[in-house]
Homo-oligomer: A and B are copies of this chain.
Amino acid sequence: MSDAPPAKPGSENAEPSTSREKILEVAEALFARRGFAGVGLREVAEAVGLGKSSLFHHFRSKTQLYVAVLGRVLGRIEERVAPSFFDPGAPRERLERCLDALVDALAEHPATARLLLRGLFEDDDFGDEAQPELAATERTLHALLDGMGRLLREGIACGAFRPVSVPDTIQTLIGATVYHFASGEFGEGLIGGPLLSAEAVRRRKAEIRALLRHGLAAPA
């Protein structure tokens, strides 16, 4: 019963070595596809190659496993996006860099966007069980939203952006990024190809850039 990553030194996760990481990897894919209630621990264990009981050695309960997966996903996103909040440069440039980073993070793993979307709009109340872990995840989320909001307000203040409603714009941007990469088979049928190919990712970045330049920029 460790429930906290064992320091994990310099090693990047080229492939999951420890059982704990393998469980997280598998659970991430499954939860993304079918949601918290739609995944059985039996299935997770089988996919990892362990007995079901062994899962409880690494995670106290199913909900603990879920919040661990959620936290890991959000952590990966913050790791990529947050740096661009404090970069030098004009607000528009920084906002573009930050959204590019977000898209990269979402495109990295196919499960990321779906999991994040589920975490956003689904409210399965985990009755005060995983309080601290969930609180940490929410703090990370708010840090990301605050950073984006600050960037937008700054751009408006210095005249680079139109005086739009900041929360509404953030919602639109989330829709254009998170929803898009979460749309799965439907999205692939719509654009007529894989969502995560290098070309499709490039196209989405261009789309978002255009959205910013034409839809957000103040008229010259």
**Any B CB within 8 A of the CB of A124:** yes
**Any B CB within 8 A of the CB of A160:** no
CB-CB < 8 A to A120: which residues of B? 183, 186
**Any B CB within 8 A of the CB of A8:** no
CA–CA, A214 and B169, complex, Å: 13
Q: DSSP majority for the A interface?
A: helix
Q: Is the CB of A171 within 8 A of B184?
A: no
Among A11-19, A45-53, A57-65, A172-180, the one that faces the other chain is A172-180
Q: Is the CB of A174 within 8 A of B179?
A: yes
**Any B CB within 8 A of the CB of A132:** no
**Any B CB within 8 A of the CB of A187:** yes
**A81 CB to nearest B CB, Å:** 17
**Any B CB within 8 A of the CB of A121:** yes
Among A82-90, A95-103, A202-210, the one that faces the other chain is A202-210
**A7 CB to nearest B CB, Å:** 33
A170-B190, A171-B191, A191-B171 as given contacts; A165 in contact with B121, CB under 8 Å: no
CB-CB < 8 A to A114: which residues of B? 121
A175-B172, A207-B168, A210-B215 as given contacts; A36 in contact with B33, CB under 8 Å: no
Q: Is the CB of B183 within 8 A of A121?
A: yes
CA–CA, A190 and B174, complex, Å: 12
Interface residues of A (CB under 8 A from B): 33-38, 114, 117, 120-124, 145, 162, 164-165, 167-172, 174-176, 178-180, 182-187, 190-192, 203-204, 207, 210-211, 214-216
